[in-house]
């Protein structure tokens, strides 16, 4: 246990007191916080209403229903006009190439967002419409999402590492009428021709009878040709490599961002929305294979991300905050865009990767901008650990005060390295457990207040009431291990799965009526600390990204050579977990390195590079129950060469197990 710091905003006793009040009197606790925001009209009725019990009717949560507001107004206009933060830097943008930089103040950001809102309005976008965004980490991504929010349109951001097929699936699921994308970008040395992927995706949408009527394209790599900068601020023009990117142009559909912006006015009245109107859709893997469109609403999400940001990172106005997550994930939505901006914070927005041009890139950026609070993923920490201490220690990092992690359990070895080497043993670490569905942090230490245990996400945030249940749904007290659930709503909880409320109820509320079920296993120790033990459903966590076994399996069986596939998670030193696939081939096909390559390519094209398997094993037969269910539990053991299989009496044909053991993949392919 590492002791807390003395200078914290709250100490442990105050945390306990505030937490107790927040759970016992959520309306009063969040009501006080709501007063810090702008509401066009006040909440006319109950501040909170909900039902978490499927046996009593429809599942719903409503915070401040009937109050009207606009989140974009709260995070920009109010900061500029009321709080006089117009000249404060909102983002330092650091490009993939060192030296490619720019910055944008709150006032400049507001102007760009108003301009782009006017652009969208002119394209017919209205409150409630869905807009797909497929962009790298550039300032226009933030501008685009906030412009949607200003108009009450829902942004559906698709991570730029996803494939054309994944983008198409997401556009169709929420019938997005407009796509915003970028010509191309570099990730390290790799050139990504994003427009080509976007075109491919829109072609697929057309084939499926859904023509997206407009595609707005940011000229990013080609920016130098325009003789313009990322923002109207005074930074020097950026240097960029001059790639040979060929862009197809679809007349009547494609429009250049910069041309539209030149004609757009810089004032735009926000659309006043109900606190319970949807703010965005963000897709996350679902155990059936089809991604779920997680819907967050305006009011509750705003309160929750603002408050978690303030306490969990112990925010002070002079901070320079840096969350390395891509905005395409929930971490980026909540802690690159909305949380920091709601607090009037200055953040770093980084386009590149930690190892380009060298392994010290993150720390050179920390020094360059004097970053005080730094938030990243265990997979990044483990990857950097491999290069030893030198790339870190040759940079000062003296500005750092708090370090955070998110996305998966952090192993104590990585935690200790992060603390000892990166944080020079001065900085508290906040290991934040949460989910796309929760909107913001759920279990987390508060820096300086919570004594830390490496590997534990420690205690619940304000308003969060966790419980651990056994298989029969009984709440376990004291030291215990079981299903992690939450007993009552917090403002940031998702409200529905887009277009499929039944799926929302079934996934999160059916197994244990009365509780929100996370899908994670958890242990509580004798001091009340929570330790996440990992997913207990058919989900995999690769480098902090959730994938479902079903979605990878369906990508595999779409290949003509594959009759059946089963995918399991396998321990990996950097990714945490990697994919180990078993494939049964159709008659007439033979297993070969060429086929393995084709299957990998297939998965990259269907899902994206993050889902590329490390192992693919030929499996003439799979262990199944007599009713035909694949026994992934057994396959997981086979992959690890663990012969302690437990009960295998239900396996229909036990001989397949020995065959699979003797043909295991010994190295990654
Ligand atoms: O299994 C948990 C793991 O990531 C899952 C949520 O993934 P996603 O919705 O993609 O959001 C990731 C970023 C918030 C969880 O169900 N997870 C996330 N953070 C932690 C974690 N597991 C252990 N410790 C964490 N700090």
- Per the listing, tokens 């035909």 go with 628
What distance in angstroms lies between residue 658's CA and the mean position of ligand 1's atoms?
Answer: 35
Spatial separation of the C-alpha atoms in residues 620 and 639, rounded to whole Å:
15
Q: Which residue's C-alpha comes closest to atom 12 of ligand 1?
A: 407
Per-residue pLDDT for 230 more than 50?
no
How do beta strands 516-524 and 539-542 pair? unpaired
438 lines ligand 1 (CB under 6 A): no
pLDDT of residue 138: 98
Tokens of 577: 């977990």
pTM score of the predicted model: 0.92
- The answer to whether residue 241 scores a pLDDT higher than 70 is no
Query: 3-state SS of 172-207?
Result: HHCCCCEEEEECCEEECCEEECHHHHHHHHHHHHHH
CA of 241: how far to CAs of 102, 220, 360, 455, 550, in Å? 16, 11, 21, 41, 40
pLDDT score at 629: 78
Reply yes or no on whether the pLDDT at 6 is more than 70: no
Confidence of residue 535 (pLDDT cuts 50, 70, 90): confident
Q: Would the pLDDT of 287 be above 50?
A: yes
DSSP annotation of 436: G
End-to-end CA distance of the chain: 41
Q: Is the pLDDT of residue 237 over 50?
A: no
Rounded Cα distance, 552 and 612, in Å: 9
Q: Which of 581, 504, 2 is nearest to 292 (CA)?
A: 504
Instruction: Count the neighbouring beta carbons within 10 Å of the beta carbon of residue 537.
Output: 16
> How far, in Å, from the CA of 31 to the mean position of ligand 1?
28
Give the residue, out of 330, 377, 435, 436, with the most ligand 1 atoms within 8 A of its beta carbon, to mutate for a pocket test. 435
Task: Write down the pLDDT at residue 615.
Answer: 97
The total number of residues written for the chain in this structure = 669
Residue 414 has pLDDT above 50, yes or no: yes
Residues near 413 by beta carbon (within 8 Å), at least 6 away in sequence: 385
- Ligand 1 neighbourhood includes 406 CB (under 6 angstroms): yes
With a CB cutoff of 8 Å and minimum separation 6, the contacts of 160 are: 134, 135, 136, 182, 185, 192, 194, 326, 328
- Of the pLDDT bands very low, low, confident and very high (cuts 50, 70, 90), residue 7 is low
Q: What's the rounded Cα separation, in Å, for the pair 157 and 380?
A: 22
Per-residue pLDDT, averaged over 118-147, amounts to: 98
* Residue 457 Cα: closest atom of ligand 1: 26
Q: Which has more pLDDT, 650 or 397?
A: 397
For ligand 1, atom 6, which residue shows the shortest CA distance? 435
pLDDT of residue 231: 46
Hey, what are 387's tokens? Answer: 């290069």
- 285-289, 409-413, 561-565, 613-617: the lowest-pLDDT one: 285-289
Measuring from atom 24 of ligand 1, which residue has the nearest CA? Answer: 409
pLDDT at 3: 56
Mean of pLDDT values over 459-470: 98
The verdict on the CB of residue 61 being under 6 Å from ligand 1 is no
Evaluate if residue 235 carries a pLDDT over 80.
no
> How far apart, in whole angstroms, are the C-alpha atoms of residue 495 and residue 295?
6
Q: Ligand 1: which of 407, 414, 441, 507 to mutate, judged by most atoms within 8 Å of the beta carbon? A: 407
CB of residue 541 inside a 6 A radius of ligand 1: yes
Asked if 390 and 358 touch (Cβ cutoff 8 Å), the reply is no
DSSP conformational letter for 76: I
Question: Which residues, in sequence order, are CB contacts of 662 under 8 Å at separation 6+?
Answer: none
534 CA → ligand 1 middle, Å: 9
Let me know: does 358 contact 352? Beta carbons within 8 Å.
no
* Band of residue 666 on the pLDDT scale cut at 50, 70, 90: confident
Query: Is the CB of 547 within 6 Å of ligand 1?
Result: no
d(CA 517, CA 530): 16
How confident is the model over 351-361, as a mean pLDDT?
Answer: 97
> Whole-angstrom Cα distance, residue 245 to residue 224?
14
* pLDDT tens digit sequence for 567-610: 999 999 999 999 999 999 998 999 999 999 999 999 999 999 99
pLDDT in tens, 485-510: 999 999 999 999 999 999 999 999 99
CA distance 136 to 192: 10
Residue located nearest, by CA, to atom 3 of ligand 1: 408
- With beta carbons less than 8 A apart as the criterion, state whether 228 and 219 touch: no
Res. 5: pLDDT tops 60: no
CA-based nearest residue to 72, from 280, 240, 367, 220: 280
> Cα dist. 199→196, 217, 622 in Å?
5, 11, 39
Span 645-659, pLDDT tens digits = 887 777 888 899 999
CB atoms within 10 A of CB 383: 19
Q: From the CA of 433, how far away is ligand 1's center (Å)?
A: 6
Q: What is the mean pLDDT of the chain?
A: 94
Q: What is the pLDDT of residue 245?
A: 79
């Amino acid at each position: 246990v590492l002791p807390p710091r003395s200078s914290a905003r709250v100490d442990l006793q105050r945390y306990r007191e505030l937490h107790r009040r927040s759970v016992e009197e959520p309306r009063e606790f969040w009501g006080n916080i709501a007063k810090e925001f702008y509401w066009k009209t006040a909440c006319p009725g109950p501040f909170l209403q909900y039902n978490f019990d499927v046996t009593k009717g429809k599942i719903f949560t409503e915070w401040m229903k009937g109050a009207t507001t606009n989140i974009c107004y709260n995070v920009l206009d109010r900061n500029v006009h009321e709080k006089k933060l117009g000249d404060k830097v909102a983002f330092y943008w650091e490009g993939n190439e060192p030296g490619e930089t720019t910055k944008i103040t709150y006032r400049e950001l507001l102007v760009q967002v108003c301009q782009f809102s006017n652009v969208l309005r002119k394209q017919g976008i209205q409150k409630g419409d869905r807009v797909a965004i497929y962009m790298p980490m550039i300032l226009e991504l933030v501008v685009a999402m906030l412009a949607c929010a200003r108009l009450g349109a829902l942004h559906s951001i698709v991570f730029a590492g996803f494939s054309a097929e994944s983008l198409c699936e997401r556009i169709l699921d929420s019938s997005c009428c407009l796509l915003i994308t970028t010509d191309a970008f570099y990730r390290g040395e790799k050139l990504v021709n994003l427009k080509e992927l976007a075109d491919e995706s829109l072609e697929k949408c057309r084939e499926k009878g859904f023509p997206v009527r407009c595609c707005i394209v940011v000229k990013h790599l080609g920016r130098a040709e325009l003789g313009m900068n990322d923002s109207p601020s005074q930074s020097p023009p950026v240097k960029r490599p001059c790639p040979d990117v060929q862009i197809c142009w679809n007349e009547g559909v494609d429009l250049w961002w910069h041309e539209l912006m030149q004609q757009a006015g810089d004032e735009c009245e926000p659309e006043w929305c109900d606190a319970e109107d949807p703010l965005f859709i963000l897709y996350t893997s679902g155990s059936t294979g089809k991604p779920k469109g997680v819907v967050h609403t305006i009011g509750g999400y705003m309160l929750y991300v603002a408050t978690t940001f303030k306490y969990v990172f112990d925010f002070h106005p002079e901070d320079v905050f840096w969350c390395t997550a891509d905005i395409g994930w929930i971490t980026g939505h909540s802690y690159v865009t909305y949380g920091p901006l709601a607090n009037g914070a200055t953040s770093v927005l980084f386009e590149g990767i930690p190892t380009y041009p060298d392994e010290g890139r993150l720390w050179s950026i920390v020094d360059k901008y004097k970053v005080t609070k730094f938030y990243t993923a265990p997979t990044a920490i483990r990857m950097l650990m491999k290069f030893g201490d030198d790339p870190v220690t040759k940079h000062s990092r003296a500005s750092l005060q708090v370090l955070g992690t998110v996305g998966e359990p952090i192993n104590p070895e990585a935690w200790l390295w992060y603390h000892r080497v990166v944080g020079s043993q001065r900085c508290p670490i906040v290991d934040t457990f949460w989910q796309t569905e929760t909107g913001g942090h759920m279990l987390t230490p508060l820096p300086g207040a919570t004594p830390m245990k490496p590997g534990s996400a420690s205690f619940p945030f304000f308003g969060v009431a966790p419980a651990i249940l056994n298989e029969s749904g009984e709440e376990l007290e004291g030291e215990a291990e079981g299903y992690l659930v939450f007993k009552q709503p917090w403002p940031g909880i998702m409200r529905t799965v887009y277009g499929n409320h039944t799926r929302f109820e079934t996934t999160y509320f059916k197994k244990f009526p009365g509780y929100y079920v996370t899908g994670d296993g958890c242990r509580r120790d004798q001091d009340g600390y929570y330790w996440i033990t990992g997913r207990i459903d058919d989900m995999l966590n690769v480098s902090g990204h959730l994938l479902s076994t079903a979605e990878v399996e369906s990508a595999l069986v779409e290949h003509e050579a594959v009759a059946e596939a089963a995918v399991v998670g396998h321990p990996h030193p950097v990714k945490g977990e990697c994919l180990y696939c078993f494939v049964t081939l159709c008659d007439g096909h033979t297993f070969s390195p060429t086929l393995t390559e084709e299957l990998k390519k297939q998965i990259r094209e269907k899902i994206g590079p993050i889902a590329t398997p490390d192992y693919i094993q030929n499996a003439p037969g799979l262990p199944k129950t007599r009713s035909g269910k694949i026994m992934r539990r057994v396959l997981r053991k086979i992959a690890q060469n663990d012969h302690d299989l437990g009960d295998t009496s239900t396996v229909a044909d036990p001989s397949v197990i020995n065959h699979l053991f003797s043909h295991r993949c010994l190295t990654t392919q």
